[in-house]
Amino acid sequence: MPRTLITDGEISSAASFADAARVYHRVEGIVLRFYPGVAGKSVPCVDVQPGTNDVRFCVIAGVPAQPEGVDPLVVGQRYSEPWPVLHKVPVRYPSFNGLAVWCDLKAGDKVDLEAPDLDPSTYRATGKASDPPITRRNSGAFWTAIPGSTADPDALGPSGGLLCIGSTSGPSVTIGPSGVTLGVPVGGTATDAVARATAVDAVFQNLMAALQTASSLPAPVGPFAAALLTSFQTAGYSAGTPGTIAPPAATVGSSKLPCAP
Whole-angstrom CA distances from 115 to 7, 19, 232 are 35, 16, 62
Measured distance between the N- and C-terminal CA atoms of the chain, rounded to whole angstroms = 88
212-237 pLDDT per residue, tens: 777 776 767 677 777 777 766 665 55
The b/e string for 81-115 (b: 16+ C-beta within 10 A; e otherwise) is eebeebeebbbbeeeeeeeeeeeebeeebbbbbbb
pLDDT (mean) for 150-179: 87
Please report the pLDDT score of residue 18 as a whole number.
58
Q: pLDDT tens across 8-60, in order?
A: 676 676 656 555 556 678 899 999 999 999 998 999 999 999 999 988 888 89
Could you tell me the pTM of the whole model? 0.71
pLDDT in tens, 190-205: 877 787 777 777 777 7
User: What pLDDT sits at residue 244?
Assistant: 47
Which residues does residue 56 pair with via DSSP β-bridges, in sequence order? 79
Biggest CA pair distance of the chain = 123
Any idea how long the chain is? 261
